[in-house]
Amino acid sequence: MSHAHQRKKQPEQVRRALLDNAARMAAEHGVAGVTVQAVAEAAGVTKGGLFHHFPNKKAMVDAVFDDLLEQCGQRIDALLAEDPVQHGRFTRAYVKVLFEESGENALDPWKALSMSMITEPVLQQMWGDWMTERLARHGETDNDPMLEIVRLAADGAWLAFMSQTHEALLPDVAGLRDRLVALTTRT
């Protein structure tokens, strides 16, 4: 008798393993290097087990992107909880998280998925929806044209990191981060 049939099913752990392995593969080989077979093997499940959670590779990649947005949102929420200054609080947290993701310890899956986002309409829509929801939630504290400029500047810096053009374009990354954060406190 196969041990697979005796093993207790843990769908959330299996899904987490699939997402983590797909994210790791995207970081190592780009989104094109993510295959259903490789992700299933790395997670210790059959392709059928993977298809139980995701109907195809595209759905799996979309879920990885959604998971990364969720992680980003959790880090932003943690920074919001620590910040007593109302004006610009979301923008400060956003800048800090983007620069955290862009630094030496960047989450590598962001690199592969952010580059895919440029050409993939579904990922663009997911990002747009996420950002729209966040901005609506924090409209009272972050509805200021200067804060919009700061967020757009941070997006540009993040794109430079993700496309690995930052060394020439951003010689003082820490200084840029600090200047952008400082701009969020001006009213």
pLDDT in tens, 63-88: 998 998 898 899 999 999 999 999 99
| Nearest of 15, 26, 19, 25 to residue 52 by alpha carbon | 15
Q: State the pTM of this model.
A: 0.80
Q: What is the pLDDT of residue 159?
A: 81
pLDDT at 103 over 60: no
Mean pLDDT of 48-62: 93
**H helix runs in the chain, sequence order:** 3-6, 11-29, 36-43, 47-53, 57-82, 89-102, 108-119, 121-137, 139-142, 145-162, 166-169, 173-183
Residue with tokens 């952010």: 114
pLDDT at 115 over 80: no
| Nearest of 2, 69, 14, 11 to residue 39 by alpha carbon | 14
In order of their start, the domains of the chain are 9-183 (1.10.357.10)
Q: Are 153 and 178 in contact (CB under 8 A)?
A: no
Please indicate whether residue 172 or residue 167 has the higher confidence score (pLDDT). Answer: 172
Q: What is the pLDDT of residue 11?
A: 83
Q: What is the pLDDT of residue 101?
A: 62
| Nearest of 126, 79, 82 to residue 98 by alpha carbon | 79
Helix/strand/coil for 55: coil
pLDDT in tens, 131-167: 999 999 999 999 999 999 999 999 888 888 777 666 6
Q: How far is C-alpha 149 from the geometric centre of its chain's CA atoms?
A: 21
Mean pLDDT of 159-176: 75
Tokens (6 digits) for 125? 């829509």
Distances from the Cα of 177 to the Cαs of 6, 8, 9, 21, 102, in angstroms? 53, 48, 45, 31, 11
Helix/strand/coil for 170: coil
Half-sphere exposure of 61 (CA within 13 A, CB side): 24
